[in-house]
Amino acid sequence: MTAPTPSSLIIQGFTPPLRLADFRLAAFDMDSTLINIECIDEIAAAAGKKAEVAAITEAAMRGEITDFKDSLRRRLALLKGVPVSALEQVLATRLQFNPGARELCAALKAAGLKLLLVSGGFTYFTRHVAAELGMDFVRSNELEIVDGLLTGGLVMQAWGEICDGEEKKRMLLQCAAEIGAQPHQCMAVGDGANDLPMMGAAGLSVAYHAKPRVREQAMVAINEGGLEQLLHVLG
């Protein structure tokens, strides 16, 4: 007998449970999804510019600023001259995993799924998160640092400079192809407008404590409690 679905889960577009065995890849956003903060906002706090940067972040996540790359460049420009020690402080004192993140990732890995961390945030933090949760694939942005200070720019990587919504989608599809999976065998979990492209490409889209536009478009919305609740709809 299937356990009742918690009232904190809103399910749209299908009848649970889905079979966990039908999935092969799970893609996760990082900031405000797997972890409790928006890292760029916390870095800005060290520069005394949190309110200004956070306002841009919030507008971008709600989808009010449709060009994620532009919004990120605007925020990064405000961080020029911030010391690397600010990143160290955020990682050591502010970054925590959201409830259920470890449990969900462990359960998915135990079921044989590959895990993808795909973030519009920064490698300084994704390295830590990926190592802690056992991610198989990672894509994120690399902050440019010169003489121990942020330049306000990013390092160009082999795939490009900025991991926006389209890059998240492309990475999900690329990783799926690499392991021989089809898009319908993928799930994508996020909270902001820049997660919608990959969520739309996946067989199962999950909004976690998300912005209204994202909640409305997701197949599953977790509005209260932890990420582990997703397991209730994955029989």
* Catalytic residue check, 29: yes
The catalytic position among 31, 164, 191, 195 is 31
β-bridge mates for residue 190, sequence order: 207
Tell me, what amino acid is at 44?
A
Q: Hey, which residues does 207 pair with through a beta bridge?
A: 190, 221
- The answer for residues whose C-beta is within 8 angstroms of residue 18's C-beta and 6 or more apart is 204, 233, 234, 235
Q: Which residues contact 192 (CB under 8 A, 6 or more apart)?
A: 29, 32, 60, 61, 62, 63, 210, 211, 214
Given a contact cutoff of 8 angstroms between Cβ atoms, the answer to whether 203 and 19 are in contact is no
Residue 73 DSSP SS3:
helix
Cα–Cα distance, 154 to 145 (Å, whole number)? 8
Catalytic option among 29, 164, 191, 195: 29
Q: In this structure, what DSSP letter does residue 3 have?
A: P
What does the DSSP 8-state code read for residue 28?
Answer: E
| Residue 195: strand, helix, or coil | helix
Does residue 136 carry a catalytic annotation?
Answer: no
Rounded CA separation 97/35 (Å): 4
For the annotated catalytic residues, the residue numbers are 29, 31
